[in-house]
Amino acid sequence: MDYARQVIYRLGDFGMDAGVIVEHNSPTPPPWWDQLVKSSPIPVFWGCEFSSSRGHLLIITPSGGVDLPPVGSPMQEAVKRAVESGGVAIVAHPYSTMHRASPGDEILKLQGLTAVETINGALGLESNRSAQMAALALGLPGIGGSDAHSPYHVGRAWTVFQENVKTQIQLVALLKEGRYAACRGRGCQA
């Protein structure tokens, strides 16, 4: 919980109105999550970064939980389960050269994606540009994410919504509507 609390305060330091904390292969929030949400100065939401056979998939559901397939399952199966739960599936860092498994152009075959992480704060211009081109080809919006494995990495990239997000249910609805933009640097607006 201390790490999550540090991340939340870093979000506030950057002037963020809300934040999503995703944990690798954790389909439901941990026992201390409700206490953290109640004490947080900004709205925070739970998501899962699922490790498929071909890379990572961000899953956010209205309830904050999802019935995941086994780790290492095909990405399409995880997308299907996210959608069936009323949630969203967003492919994370699809053209990363830093991660062991990245789907690359395989994402062009996936059905049911909500968005593509087009700006990943841990990756360089070429990886992010390839993700942006894939999102365009798919007709999907892009999100930005810090990929923060340390509180000090928070704020490297983010997503700007056209309205303030106050609840997990609203977050999922807005992600489905596509009213947001991936951001890095100054002057970014949805």
For range 65-89, the mean pLDDT: 95
* For the chain, domain boundaries: 2-183
Q: Give the pLDDT confidence of 48-59 residue by residue, as tens digits.
A: 999 999 999 999
CATH class in words for 2-183 = alpha beta
Question: What is the average pLDDT across 125-149?
Answer: 94
What would the mean pLDDT of 167-190 be, rounded to a whole number? 87
d(CA 106, CA 180): 24
The SS3 assignment for 118 reads: strand
Q: Which phi and psi angles does 7 have, rounded to 5°?
A: -60, -45
What Rg value do the Cα atoms of the chain yield, rounded? 15
Q: How confident is the model at residue 189 (pLDDT cuts 50, 70, 90)?
A: low
Report which of residues 2 and 139 the model is more confident about: 139
User: Which residue is listed with tokens 């087009």?
Assistant: 118
Whether 1 has a pLDDT exceeding 80, the answer reads no
**123 contact partners, CB below 8 Å, separation of at least 6:** 93, 96, 97, 98, 147
* pLDDT score recorded for residue 185: 73
pLDDT, mean of residues 95-122: 93
Would you give the end-to-end CA distance of the chain in angstroms?
Answer: 31
Q: Which DSSP symbol is given to 167? A: S
